[in-house]
Amino acid sequence: MNLIGPNEVFGEVALLDDGLRTADAVAATYCCLVLLERRDLLPILNDFPVLAVRLLAILSTRLRRTSQQLLDHAFVCAEQRLAKTLLTLAGHTERNGVRVLTTQRELGHMVGLSREGINRHLSVWQRKGFIALAPGACTIRDRIAVEKIALGDEVAGS
């Protein structure tokens, strides 16, 4: 399960290889989407090869992310995976107080844990003041502590 942010593309695999879609998409917020048909895209790629190169870069980035996720699932403990996922969802910011809008069930799908397992870790982190929980959301209060967990420098314990 991946989250697609503003100005990102999805569905590119089926668009490029003319195969079946590899996943479904569900909007978490209001969206404005642009739909491209393969028959319309191929001539544009021929006329503007820089777009083809950009699509290759997008696919390469996604492949790298998928490879990292597989490595994490094989070799990184669930607590670290959860911390990494929260930081990814929070975006590239150094500040505290970033609110992540996702349910514990969705986090479980991303991390590979049950909702109950996610809840155990988040509850411990909340007691330690690292995060604040609300229905369908989590606010990172101490980003440095969560980063330490993600790196395996600190195990918050369950």
pLDDT for residue 43: 95
| pLDDT tens readout for residues 12-68 | 888 888 888 888 888 877 888 988 899 999 999 999 999 999 999 999 988 998 898
- Buried b / exposed e across 10-45, counting CB within 10 Å, b at 16+? beeeebbeeeeeeeeeeeeeeeeeeeeeeeebeeee
Give the residue among 52, 66, 61 at the shortest CA–CA distance from 15.
52
Supply 24's token pair.
Answer: 């479904």
- Buried b / exposed e across 108-142, counting CB within 10 Å, b at 16+? bebbebeeebbbebbeebbeeebbeeeeeebebbe
Per-residue pLDDT averaged across 101-109, rounded? 91
Q: How far is CA 156 from the centre of its chain?
A: 22
Per-residue pLDDT band for 155 (boundaries 50, 70, 90) equals low
Give the residue among 114, 113, 115, 106 at the shortest CA–CA distance from 88.
106
pLDDT for residue 1: 61
Predicted model pTM? 0.75
- Is 90 exceeded by the pLDDT of residue 81? yes
> Between 143-151 and 115-127, two packed helices, what is the crossing angle to 10 degrees?
130
pLDDT for residue 158: 47
The yes or no reply on domain 77-151 and CATH 2.40.110.10 is no
Domain ranges for the chain: 12-73, 77-151
